[in-house]
């Protein structure tokens, strides 16, 4: 059992953080893949500067991967130990900070919980771990009086979490919107720029290393969903269950959608967003949206990430930068290590990484209650009376059509056209769209995207 020391004047004060007063701080890296290697390389390159900032030595003691002995580590130097068993890192008395970069949920959780229980400070880049177990991690880190760093989990190399948590701790946020997945933004901007089919832009993203061989996690929006869950915790103090966040990917977006979007002076981006609504509800989602062409998020190029915050007093604040990549993300990981090391040098603890001392369970607004104007793209086998049938369905559901657009198309058997709809409650729209989906002349299911009026 830990004992609370008595001060000279008899009052009780909490024990200092583990490692307080150290002149050399040791850390270990578990997972030596893209981010692990990036982190170590950045440390080797920036060590002198980092140590000048810290005022003490920062020693990488051990690195761990299951196949570490198959990796060429000649650039690393002999003083760093290697192991294939992460438990050795967690048990090592010379290691103060454990850096978890293995990237799967079950192992990452086992490492994180074991490290905290062993009194180690923990840094992780694992968005899934933090989105699913963030509150529990924070509670355990409090219990064991250690610090937790999560900066690399959202927007990789861009320190958005620190900015929200510390730079804007006095703000009342009303909304947060982000382009949080570089792969999908790269694909969408390429489809837009070159008017190439989605599949071609995806294949190119895979070739350039922006997309995984199995791209589902990115292009179906699941990666961005973890990140918006973390942002919702930090901006609003609400712990959202990831599976409650509705998600729509970008797989069906084609050059024709950009052609129509441009006619409407808009463009298409995958937006992860959360807004506060009346009654403490949170509207939270990941979906492709039609943005005004001149808006801030519309201008985010390629694999870049961006977060747009809306605050009661400060209005809009935007941060943009590298969202992934070994070395940019390694900088974020190391920055957490440095922050924790500072607390060990000076005493005290870091700011709680989720920004709140207490959380409320989130009250997610039913998506069906959201009201928005929308874009509907239909691809039909041409015949007379199509427009009358579709308009009839909208009229029955009391949905007003704003405009009907049709670009010239080469084939009458796959003729695309677009309708823009006035603001409508989403559940009414989805009922109407279900009915339209059953019409015999449809060549593929309708594509619906809401309009977002972002600055």
- Residues acting as catalytic residues: 227
The distance of closest approach from Cβ of residue 63 to ligand NAP in the complex, given in angstroms and rounded to an integer, is 9
The distance of closest approach from Cβ of residue 44 to ligand NAP in the complex, given in angstroms and rounded to an integer, is 17
Name the residue nearer to ligand NAP (CB basis): 103 or 416. 103
- Identify the residue among 34, 181, 185, 420 touching ligand NAP (CB under 6 A): 34
State which H helix or E strand residue 111 sits in.
helix 105-117
Q: Token pair for residue 109?
A: 């959780």
Provide DSSP, 356-410.
-SS-EE--BPPGGG-EEEEEEEEEE---TTHHHHHHHHHHHTT--EEEEE----S
Crossing angle of the two packed helices 326-346 and 34-54, in degrees rounded to 10: 40
Q: Token pair for residue 80?
A: 């760093």
- Our finding on whether 64 is near ligand NAP (CB under 6 A) is yes
Name the residue nearer to ligand NAP (CB basis): 12 or 75. 75
What is the spatial distance between Cα 235 and Cα 161, in angstroms, rounded to a whole number?
9
Q: Rg for the chain (alpha carbons), in Å?
A: 25
What is the spatial distance between Cα 211 and Cα 324, in angstroms, rounded to a whole number?
11
Among the residue ranges 119-127, 295-303, 397-405, 419-427, the one whose residues contact ligand NAP (CB under 6 A): 119-127
Site string for ligand NAP, 91-110 (x = CB under 6 A): ----------xxx---x---
Does the CA dihedral 87-44-328-333 come out positive or negative? Answer: positive
- Our finding on whether 126 is near ligand NAP (CB under 6 A) is yes
Name the residue nearer to ligand NAP (CB basis): 181 or 295. 181
* Closest C-alpha to 370, from 291, 285, 252: 285
- Cβ-in-10-Å burial (0-12, 13-18, 19+) of 40 comes to buried
- Our finding on whether 123 is near ligand NAP (CB under 6 A) is no
Which residue do the tokens 């720029």 mark? 193
- Identify the residue among 19, 26, 28, 31 touching ligand NAP (CB under 6 A): 31
In the region spanning residues 358 to 397, those forming contacts with ligand NAP, defined by CB under 6 A, are none
In the region spanning residues 282 to 321, those forming contacts with ligand NAP, defined by CB under 6 A, are none
What is the spatial distance between Cα 311 and Cα 313, in angstroms, rounded to a whole number?
6
- Our finding on whether 156 is near ligand NAP (CB under 6 A) is yes
- Our finding on whether 28 is near ligand NAP (CB under 6 A) is no
- Identify the residue among 86, 177, 260, 359 touching ligand NAP (CB under 6 A): 86
- Identify the residue among 15, 33, 167, 361 touching ligand NAP (CB under 6 A): 33
- Identify the residue among 25, 35, 164, 228 touching ligand NAP (CB under 6 A): 35
Size of the site for ligand NAP (CB under 6 A): 24
- Kindly list the residues in this chain that would bind ligand NAP in the complex (CB under 6 A): 30-36, 64-67, 86, 101-103, 107, 125-127, 152, 156, 324-325, 329
């Amino acid at each position: 059992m830990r004992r609370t020391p008595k001060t000279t004047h008899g009052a009780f004060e909490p024990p200092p953080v583990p490692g307080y007063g150290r002149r050399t701080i040791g850390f270990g890296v578990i997972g030596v893949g893209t981010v692990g290697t990036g982190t170590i390389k950045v440390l080797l390159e920036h060590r002198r500067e980092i140590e000048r900032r810290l005022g003490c030595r920062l020693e990488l003691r051990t690195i761990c991967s299951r196949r570490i002995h198959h990796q060429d580590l000649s650039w690393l130097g002999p003083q760093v130990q290697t192991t294939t068993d992460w438990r050795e890192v967690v048990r090592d008395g010379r290691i103060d900070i454990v850096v978890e970069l293995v990237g799967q949920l079950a192992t990452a959780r086992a490492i994180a919980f074991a490290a905290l229980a062993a009194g180690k400070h923990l840094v992780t880049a694992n968005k899934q771990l933090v989105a699913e177990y963030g509150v529990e991690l924070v509670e355990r880190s409090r219990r064991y009086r250690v610090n937790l760093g999560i900066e690399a989990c959202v927007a990789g190399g861009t320190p958005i979490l620190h900015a929200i948590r510390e730079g804007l701790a006095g703000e009342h946020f009303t909304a947060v919107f982000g382009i949080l997945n570089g792969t999908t933004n790269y694909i969408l901007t390429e489809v837009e720029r070159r008017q190439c089919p989605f599949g071609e832009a995806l294949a190119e993203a895979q070739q350039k290393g922006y997309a995984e061989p199995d791209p589902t996690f990115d292009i179906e929006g699941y990666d961005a969903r973890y990140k918006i869950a973390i942002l919702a915790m930090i901006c609003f103090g609400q712990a959202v269950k990831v599976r409650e966040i509705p998600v729509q990917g970008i797989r069906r977006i084609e050059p024709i959608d950009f052609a129509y979007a441009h006619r409407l002076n808009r463009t298409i981006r995958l937006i992860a967003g959360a807004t506060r609504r009346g009654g403490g509800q949170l509207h939270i989602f990941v979906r492709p949206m039609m943005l005004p062409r001149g808006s801030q998020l519309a201008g985010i190029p390629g694999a870049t990430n961006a977060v747009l915050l809306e605050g009661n007093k400060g209005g809009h604040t935007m941060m943009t930068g590298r969202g992934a990549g070994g070395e940019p993300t390694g900088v974020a990981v190391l920055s957490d290590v440095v922050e924790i090391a500072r607390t060990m040098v000076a005493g005290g603890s870091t700011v709680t990484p989720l920004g709140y001392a207490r959380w409320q369970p989130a009250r997610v607004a039913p998506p069906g209650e959201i009201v928005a104007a929308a874009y509907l793209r239909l691809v039909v086998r041409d015949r007379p009376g199509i427009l009358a049938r579709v308009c009839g369905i909208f009229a029955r559901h009391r949905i007003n059509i704003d405009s009907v657009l049709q670009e010239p198309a080469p084939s009458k058997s796959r003729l695309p056209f677009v309708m823009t709809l006035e603001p409508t409650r989403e559940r009414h729209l989805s009922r109407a769209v279900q009915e339209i989906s059953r019409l015999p002349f449809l060549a593929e299911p309708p594509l619906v995207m809401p309009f977002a009026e972002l600055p």
